[in-house]
């Protein structure tokens, strides 16, 4: 089949600037390149970092770039904004779509896939003989979405990253038969336990039983470099540092755990994707709140994705305290594959990613901070439970390989 992928217009493909969605696009493109299943063309914003990338040498995957940052592009964006108005999305994104669509429609494709931009379908004149598919990584298509019925009716198929997102779509049509759930996958080879041993198996309340890279390579970071000792009980939070991710409540829990000086917290990430800004007003407010316990907290800022496994291997447990309906966060899958017991919430698609055997799932009610504190204390005081959860995490993580993900993606897309 001849397939066009119209990406969101925010980050480039290949995923040289990171992004969970963009990494998954790379996964299925690499699978397609290896197995030569389809002729695929990806439309993406231009970025100098993609020049000379090995992926561009593929004979079956093709890359079309739209320049959105040059002076000329900015002039054209503003001109189009004045003439056409805002459009469905912000005018800068509409400019990218307009330029990509001009190129895309010159060729015949069997399938056009709108990746996490269902609103592009509004006003699209889909050519005869072409199927329009939509891939949803977030709750972007439900009964309250602008133009939801037009978007839904135009789509031949709708791929979603979780049953939670599929249920959101079904508010448009309870009898929906278009949705196909494709749970995310990760590189299990990269996210593996330290020295392929279980983590959190120390006989005392805190501390880890192994160190070093899961592949036998020298780790890019160590506990001592982060200011942690072998006796410390280290928790890790990774992801965008925003209010809805529950970081405030996690720091509140740390403050309540002042009588446990060996409980430490490592906060990995920045307010936005990539290394554009490690701090904003929210991050500064978190550091101010944590000022009295900063000897027990480390803010790493942005960490390149390739180095993330070694940072996770420092930890004894992972905490993913999402307060919003997180659709299918990769942070959960990455921690799980590294063998970390997880404390997280019953929000969005998170309960679909874990089991009761490897995760403590909390409600985000008025008692959330109290229950979060209690869960941390429980895992700190019971290494045998951490060991059992570690084993369960590793077993459950086997399903979430990038190969299984790519296979499921192409089945959902084309069958």
3-state SS assignment for residue 186: strand
Encode 74-138 in three state secondary structure: HHHHHHHHHHHCCCCCCHHHHHHHHHHHHHHCCCCCCEEEEECCHHHHCCCCCCCCCEEEEEECC
The pLDDT assigned to 206 comes to 56
- Per-residue pLDDT tens digits for 36-93: 999 999 999 999 999 999 999 999 999 999 999 999 999 999 999 999 888 899 999 9
Please determine, for residue 273, whether its predicted confidence score (pLDDT) is greater than 70: no
The pLDDT assigned to 225 comes to 95
Q: How far apart are CA 243 and CA 201, in angstroms?
A: 33
Q: Rg (Cα) of the chain, in Å, rounded?
A: 22
3-state SS assignment for residue 361: strand
- Per-residue pLDDT tens digits for 166-205: 999 999 999 999 999 999 999 999 999 865 434 333 334 5
pLDDT-above-90 percentage for the chain: 86
**DSSP secondary-structure letter at 49?**
G
3-state SS assignment for residue 236: strand
Distances (CA, A) of 264 to 36, 45, 232, 241, 386: 47, 40, 7, 18, 16
Please enumerate in sequence order all residues whose Cβ is within 8 A of that of 187, keeping only pairs 6 or more positions apart, or say none: 402
Residue 173, sorted as left (phi over 0), alpha (psi -120 to 50) or beta, turns out to be: beta
- Per the structure block, which two tokens stand in for 340? 């970390």
- Mean pLDDT, the chain, rounded, equals 92
Q: How far apart are CA 208 and CA 201, in angstroms?
A: 6
Cis bond leading into 14, ω under 30°? yes
The pLDDT assigned to 201 comes to 38
- Per-residue pLDDT tens digits for 395-415: 999 999 999 999 999 999 998
Chain-centroid distance, C-alpha 224: 28
- Per-residue pLDDT tens digits for 321-361: 999 999 999 999 999 999 999 999 999 999 999 999 999 99
Distances (CA, A) of 50 to 16, 85, 278, 287, 387: 7, 31, 23, 35, 42
Average pLDDT over residues 251-275: 89
Distances (CA, A) of 301 to 266, 269, 279, 291: 10, 5, 8, 17
Give the pLDDT band of residue 305 (cuts 50, 70, 90).
confident
The pLDDT assigned to 274 comes to 55
Residue 222 contacts residue 304 (beta carbons within 8 Å): no
Residue 135 contacts residue 113 (beta carbons within 8 Å): yes
Residue 289 contacts residue 251 (beta carbons within 8 Å): yes
Q: How far apart are CA 185 and CA 405, in angstroms?
A: 5
Average pLDDT over residues 238-263: 96
- Per the structure block, which two tokens stand in for 274? 């990539």
- B/e letters for 340-364, b = 16+ CB within 10 Å, e = fewer, are bbbbbbebbbbbebbeeebbbbbeb
Chain-centroid distance, C-alpha 84: 33
């Amino acid at each position: 089949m001849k397939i066009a992928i119209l990406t969101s217009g925010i980050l480039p493909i290949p995923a040289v600037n990171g992004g969970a969605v963009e990494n998954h696009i790379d996964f299925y493109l690499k699978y397609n390149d290896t197995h030569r299943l389809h002729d695929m063309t990806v439309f993406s914003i231009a970025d100098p970092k993609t020049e000379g990338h090995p992926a561009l040498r593929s004979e079956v995957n093709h890359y079309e770039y739209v320049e959105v940052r040059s002076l000329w592009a900015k002039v054209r964006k503003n001109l189009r904004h004045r003439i056409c108005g805002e459009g469905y999305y912000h005018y800068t994104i509409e400019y990218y779509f307009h330029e990509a669509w001009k190129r895309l429609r010159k060729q015949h494709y069997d399938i056009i896939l709108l990746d996490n931009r269902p609103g592009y379908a509004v006003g699209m004149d889909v050519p005869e003989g072409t199927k329009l598919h939509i891939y949803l990584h977030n709750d972007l298509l439900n009964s309250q979405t602008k133009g939801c019925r037009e978007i839904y009716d135009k789509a031949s198929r709708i791929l979603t990253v979780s049953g939670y997102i599929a249920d959101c779509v079904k508010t448009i049509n309870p009898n929906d038969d278009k949705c196909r759930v494709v749970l995310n996958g990760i590189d299990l080879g990269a996210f593996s336990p330290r020295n392929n041993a279980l983590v959190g198996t120390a006989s005392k309340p805190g501390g880890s039983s192994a160190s070093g890279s899961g592949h036998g390579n020298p780790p890019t970071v160590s506990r001592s470099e982060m200011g942690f000792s072998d006796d410390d009980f280290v928790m890790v939070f990774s992801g965008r540092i925003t209010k809805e991710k529950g970081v405030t409540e996690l720091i509140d829990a740390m403050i309540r755990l002042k009588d446990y000086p060996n409980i430490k917290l490592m906060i990995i990430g920045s307010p936005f994707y990539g290394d554009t800004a490690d701090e904003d007003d929210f991050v500064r407010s978190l550091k101010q709140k944590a000022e009295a316990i900063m000897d027990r907290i480390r803010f790493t800022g942005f960490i390149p994705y390739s180095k993330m496994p070694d940072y996770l291997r420092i930890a004894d447990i992972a905490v993913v305290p999402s307060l919003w309906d997180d659709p299918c966060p990769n942070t959960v899958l990455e921690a799980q594959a590294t063998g970390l017991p997880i404390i997280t919430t019953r929000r969005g698609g998170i309960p679909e990613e874990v089991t009761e055997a490897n995760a403590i799932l909390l409600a985000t009610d008025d008692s959330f901070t109290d229950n979060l504190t209690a869960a941390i204390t429980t895992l700190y005081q019971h290494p045998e439970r951490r060991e059992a959860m570690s084993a369960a995490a590793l077993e459950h993580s086997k399903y979430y390989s990038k190969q299984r993900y790519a296979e499921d993606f192409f089945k959902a897309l084309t069958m």
